[in-house]
Amino acid sequence: MKLYDAFGREVDRALLCEEQAAPTMTGIRNIYSSMHPSVGLTPERFTQILREAEFGDPFLYLELAEEMEEKDLHYLAVLNTRKEAVSQLKFDITPASSDKDDLRAAEMVRAMLANDALDLASAMVDILDAIGKGFSATEILWDSSKREWFPCRLRWRDPRWFMFDWVSGEELLVRTLRNQGPSIPVDGEAAARGSHFKGAGLYGALRGDIGIQPMTEPLLPYKFIVHFAKAKAGLPIRGGLARAAGWSYLFKNYVLKDWVTFAEVYGQPLRVGKYGPGATEQDKQTLLQAVANIGTDAAAIVPDSMLIEFTEARQTGNAELYQSFCQYLDAQISKAVLGQTLTTEIPQGAGSRAAAEVHDAVRHDIMSADARRLAATLNRDLVRPIVDLNLGPRQNYPRLTIGMADDADINDFVDMVTKLADHGVRIGQQTVRRRMEIPEPAEDEPVLQPSRVPLASA
């Protein structure tokens, strides 16, 4: 039986057990960073990197986004806060219906995703790498040795190994040294005719207008979890938070460099060594070394006959200027990533618990939105392949949901179930236990009893 993914692409089972985007020692998919675009970054260079990403080659932009997380501790902290907020949420699998076959499909998916070998919670953090970079591609390694197709591992792939097609800017392609498709015509005559090549990618199967450029190939169906986490509408490569946070990162580096220079010059007292007229050259060198060992830089030796006056900086507001500027830039990053600032830092003499709770509610809304987007991606790229490969295609599939019910939600759920049961609606205990995360009691385990046993009707 032929299988087709959610975008109408035919699935080749023979290729599912192979790695399409595995790293290579040499070539374009090696793990090493050689460009280091953050070194000596200037506004002009940063603008050029952004434009190269818009024009179809996001390699330097993606490498810069990675270095930003390594060098800016505040950006790393707030970005990880947003990722971990979703990855620690519970997930549940809801059957498509009460039909026996749908219940079987849901239970199979639930068992596979709960397998420790898959480690879905850690994979969620990798998938949410799209929050910063705009997209993420996690390759699924399938195991079919036990008469069933099991996703034994989810491997994060370096986003630098991918690029978007040059026609729509939405089709994700994997970089390869093999030329898998015709190049897009770039000459003026072809562009005027509107000529293009049809691709076989995610959206190309539906629209038929995706160009495949040289040295790339489409992602294999049922092989990747492709997640887009757009901070705004538009092309996926322009939807990552790193694009907006990059300006604050750039200016903050300028301020930090000036702040360090200021601290070196004015943070330590000037050491001046004086020697007499009869001092030898060796005496001078010894004195200079002794003075230099007291601290770093700003050291000098002069004879008694010379007089050097140093004007000490008495403007105490200089250091506060650098600090205030850095705090301002950090606050802008917090707003971009978390939607607020009071859950990261409360300014001195400002803020309140009530205000912090309001800001935390804003962050909760963002977490819920991230969870819904992630669940939709997992339903399309993981849940559906598991069902199709093992049980065959169907009209409706089990649904994965991600979330954490608070006490109010649980109380509402209990009240609703109680009222429905009182009105004769049959509700399974397994559904209630799973919703409230209550495990099935063991055979010899004491169980709770109702405080009042209802009297039997006469």
Q: What is the pLDDT of residues 172-208, one digit of tens each?
A: 999 987 654 433 333 343 333 333 333 334 444 333 4
**How many degrees, rounded to 5, is the angle at CA 225 between CA 222 and CA 230?**
140
pLDDT band of 160, cuts 50, 70, 90? very high
Distance of alpha carbon 173 from alpha carbon 160, whole angstroms: 11
Q: Is the pLDDT reported for residue 385 higher than 80?
A: yes
Residue with tokens 């205990």: 429
pLDDT band of 162, cuts 50, 70, 90? very high
The most confident of the ranges 5-9, 55-59, 300-304 is 55-59
Q: Is the pLDDT reported for residue 23 higher than 70?
A: yes
Distance of CA 410 to CAs 406, 414, 415, 432, Å? Answer: 6, 6, 9, 10
Assigned token pair, 281: 């050259």
Distance of alpha carbon 374 from alpha carbon 118, whole angstroms: 17
Can you say whether residue 313 is alpha, beta or left, with left for phi > 0 and alpha for psi between -120 and 50 degrees? beta
Distance of alpha carbon 77 from alpha carbon 341, whole angstroms: 13
Which SS3 state, helix, strand or coil, does residue 227 take? strand
- φ/ψ of 137, rounded to 5, equals -130, 115
Q: For residues 228 and 236, is the Cβ–Cβ distance under 8 A? A: yes
Percent of the chain with pLDDT over 70: 77
Beta strand 150-157 with 90-94 is unpaired
* pLDDT recorded at residue 41: 94
* pLDDT recorded at residue 186: 38
Q: What is the pLDDT of residues 258-277, one digit of tens each?
A: 998 888 777 666 677 777 77
* pTM to 2 decimal places: 0.76
* pLDDT recorded at residue 439: 74
Q: Once rounded to an integer, what is the mean pLDDT over residues 233-238?
A: 92
Residues ≥6 apart with Cβ < 8 Å to 201: 7, 165, 171, 172, 173, 210, 212, 218, 219
Distance of alpha carbon 324 from alpha carbon 321, whole angstroms: 5
The most confident of the ranges 64-68, 113-117, 285-289 is 64-68
61-65, 129-133, 224-228, 333-337: the lowest-pLDDT one: 333-337
- Give the dihedral sign, CA 347/353/359/364: positive
